[in-house]
Structures are given as C-alpha cells and as structure tokens.
Amino acid sequence: MARYADEPLAQFLLQSRATAMPPRRTIARLGTLFRQWRQRSRDRHAAAQLTERELQDMGLTHADLYRELYSWRRR
C-alpha cells in the first residue's frame, strides 16, 4: 500500500525539490524576467504611439502593428 494518496506526485515533488535552483539564482532569474517584461511593455507602448508616416517609413501598416502588439496576449 502506498504511503501517500498520490505517490507519483510525492516523488515528483521530492525530485523537483532536490534539483531546484538555489534561492539566489531563482530571485535573480525572476528579477531578469521582470526587467524584460517591463522593457517589452515600454516597447509596445512606444510602438502604439507611432504615426502613420513613421509606420510607412518602416514599411509597416497598422495591421502589422496591431498583430505585433496584441499577439503576446494569445500566447
């Protein structure tokens, strides 16, 4: 008889715990991910402010911009 109601889950958790990143690396990684997220947010905001002329200069249309700005929400 199994010691736990969900023995495979218990084994997974024990193995995951043993191979987890050290706390400093985890915190550093979270900080990096947060900075990247903020930068991308600023980039999306700046792109949304582009004029029709600026878009034409880059060879883009409003449809291209819309697709790029809102594609991240579908992931």
pLDDT given at position 54: 95
Give yes or no for residue 47 having a pLDDT over 70. Answer: yes
| Structural domain range at position 11 | 7-74
pLDDT for 20-30, tens place per residue? 667 778 788 88
Q: Which two tokens stand for residue 68?
A: 């790029």
Q: Which two tokens stand for residue 70?
A: 């809102």
Q: Does 2 fall in a domain? A: no
Give yes or no for residue 10 having a pLDDT over 70. Answer: no
Number of domains in the chain: 1
Cα gap 75→72, rounded to integer Å: 6
Q: Does 1 fall in a domain? A: no
Q: In the chain, which ranges are continuous DSSP H helix?
A: 7-19, 23-48, 52-57, 62-71
Q: Does 35 fall in a domain? A: yes
